[in-house]
A = this chain, B = another copy of it.
Amino acid sequence: MSSARAGDDPATGDRLPFAASPPDVRGRGFSSRAALPVMEGWIDATVGPLPPRAVALADLPATLAEGLVLAEPVKAPGDWPPADRAARDGVAVASSDTLGAGSYNPVPLPGAVTVAAGEPMPPGTDAVLPVEAMQADGPFVEALGSAAPGEGVERRGEGLRGGTVLLKAGHRLRPQDLGLLTALGIDTVRVGARPRVRIVLAGGPRSGPETLGAMLTALATRDGGVVELVGPLPADRAALAAAYAAPGADLLISAGRTGVGEDDVAPLALAEAGQLALHGVALRPGDSAALGTAGGVPAVLLPGEPMACLTAYELLAGRALRRLAGRDPGLPHPAVPAVVVRKLVSEIGCTELYRVRRTADGMVEPVASPHRPGLAGAVLADGFVLIPAESEGVPAGATVTLRCFDGTSL
């Protein structure tokens, strides 16, 4: 089995979890909605990492900001530094020659050799005195201070022993990592795949299709995907099904037409294109999202209401994409503890997302309740707080986990 293909059962290769399609909810409403952990569990059971790709280190510096995640651990091939060397500019000495030297007791050093930081230690020396601790007396060099053995010297293997695991699988590469890997002579690393993400705009009256297309493209790019944007398409089951099942994608994301109106044909189209595994999630906003497979790859249907679309992307579609890309499937938003100014109420049985902003005194306050549609609340917010389904909310003054929308925190 390809670990990346959705819908394959590890044991039999053909069975699917939740094989019976959920009912058509149009005009009827949802009789039940899956708990968020059930949806997440379906994704985790169905979606695995695509084969990693080998990239040359020389190609990485300009693209590092896009996020590159190691697919396998990197070990130090040998000791670093490979030999004793000067840790600073100065004069290499035998430390025993400097015993008792001081500014009132200059000690001549006939065999002293000037070294620059990084140069190998000359034979017979074991310390580097800084330039400030030396003086010239005619042709002679004198020490104005003593050096202990090893002082000013970087010893072989001091930075790193050969075989040490430098970076674990899943590690997101940082600038200094490139520097050390290059210094160690490692010229290629294996990093997570860049999944091909087809985003189908299934239309809907809520907002211009560009709204969702721009936002979803930015989100999927952030999570490591290469985006193909399709649509907006009419509310036509066959047209949507054809777009869903077309080859060439590793993940299908569709936005819009997931609700209970007559035109909400996206779930039916998914059933036609592959499998509709779960439709409806106990998540607010985002409760009409659906999961399944299309053309042999995982598929996530997002609501067309923009805030519901954003929420369901982050928690469901993004999770699937991050798994395909070999990244941490959890939310990519920095998490910090924060104290809430006001009570946040939440319905038991439903995971709710509050958009919040920081106050002047370092606490957070809600900008918009989970019921409030539209992106304005998310734009005015610094981050969000998730209230789990088993909670009826948190009182004023409680500490919660703030998820920051951008990369900053504190």
A379 to chain B, nearest CB (A): 5
Annotate A388-401 by CB proximity to B: 1 below 8 A, 0 otherwise. Answer: 00000000000001
- CB-CB under 8 A from A207, the residues of chain B are 118, 183
- CB-CB under 8 A from A105, the residues of chain B are none
A212 at the interface (CB under 8 A from B): yes
A75 to chain B, nearest CB (A): 12
> How distant is the Cα of A90 from the Cα of B407 in the complex, in angstroms?
39
A78 at the interface (CB under 8 A from B): no
- CB-CB under 8 A from A408, the residues of chain B are 332, 334-335
- CB-CB under 8 A from A177, the residues of chain B are 379
Of B67, B179, B377, the residue contacting A215 (CB under 8 A) is B179
> How distant is the Cα of A216 from the Cα of B208 in the complex, in angstroms?
41
- One of A246-254, A256-264, A272-280, A291-299 contacting the partner: A256-264
Asked whether, in the complex, the Cβ of A204 is within 8 Å of the Cβ of B65, the reply is no
> How distant is the Cα of A203 from the Cα of B229 in the complex, in angstroms?
46
Chain B residue at minimal CB-CB distance from A214: B178
A19 at the interface (CB under 8 A from B): no
A378 at the interface (CB under 8 A from B): yes
Annotate A302-316 by CB proximity to B: 1 below 8 A, 0 otherwise. Answer: 001110001000000
Chain B residue at minimal CB-CB distance from A173: B218
A130 at the interface (CB under 8 A from B): yes
A122 to chain B, nearest CB (A): 13
A11 at the interface (CB under 8 A from B): no
- CB-CB under 8 A from A401, the residues of chain B are 410
Asked whether, in the complex, the Cβ of B61 is within 8 Å of the Cβ of A218, the reply is yes
Of B131, B183, B380, the residue contacting A166 (CB under 8 A) is B380
- CB-CB under 8 A from A217, the residues of chain B are 61-62
A322 to chain B, nearest CB (A): 13
Of B58, B167, B221, B375, the residue contacting A214 (CB under 8 A) is B58
Please judge, given known A-B contacts A406-B172, A406-B174, whether A261 and B334 are in contact too, CB under 8 Å: no
> How distant is the Cα of A208 from the Cα of B378 in the complex, in angstroms?
46
Chain B residue at minimal CB-CB distance from A217: B61
How many copies of this chain? 2
Annotate A99-134 by CB proximity to B: 1 below 8 A, 0 otherwise. Answer: 000000000000000101111000000000011100
Within 8 A of B (CB), among A60-102: 60-62, 64-67, 76, 80-81, 87-90
Please judge, given known A-B contacts A57-B214, A118-B206, whether A310 and B409 are in contact too, CB under 8 Å: no
Please judge, given known A-B contacts A205-B118, A206-B118, whether A159 and B376 are in contact too, CB under 8 Å: yes
> How distant is the Cα of A30 from the Cα of B132 in the complex, in angstroms?
8
A176 at the interface (CB under 8 A from B): yes
A123 to chain B, nearest CB (A): 17
Chain B residue at minimal CB-CB distance from A227: B62
Annotate A368-385 by CB proximity to B: 1 below 8 A, 0 otherwise. Answer: 000111111111100000
Asked whether, in the complex, the Cβ of B227 is within 8 Å of the Cβ of A210, the reply is no
Asked whether, in the complex, the Cβ of B205 is within 8 Å of the Cβ of A373, the reply is no
Please name 15 pairs of A and B residues whose Cβ atoms are closer than 8 Å in the assembled complex, sorted by A: A65-B67, A65-B222, A81-B374, A117-B304, A117-B373, A119-B205, A158-B372, A166-B376, A179-B215, A180-B375, A182-B208, A334-B404, A334-B408, A401-B410, A407-B407
Instruction: Given contacts A334-B407, A337-B410, list 18 more A-B pairs with CB under 8 A.
Output: A30-B132, A60-B218, A64-B221, A65-B221, A66-B66, A76-B376, A81-B374, A90-B260, A114-B262, A116-B205, A116-B259, A116-B264, A117-B373, A154-B373, A175-B310, A178-B215, A183-B375, A401-B410
Question: Chain A residues in contact with chain B, CB under 8 A?
Answer: 27-30, 57-58, 60-62, 64-67, 76, 80-81, 87-90, 114, 116-119, 130-132, 154, 158-160, 166-167, 172, 174-180, 182-183, 204-208, 210-219, 221-222, 227, 259-264, 304-306, 310, 332, 334-337, 371-380, 401, 404-410
**Which 3 A-B residue pairings sit nearest by Cβ, starting from the closest?**
A118-B206, A179-B215, A61-B217
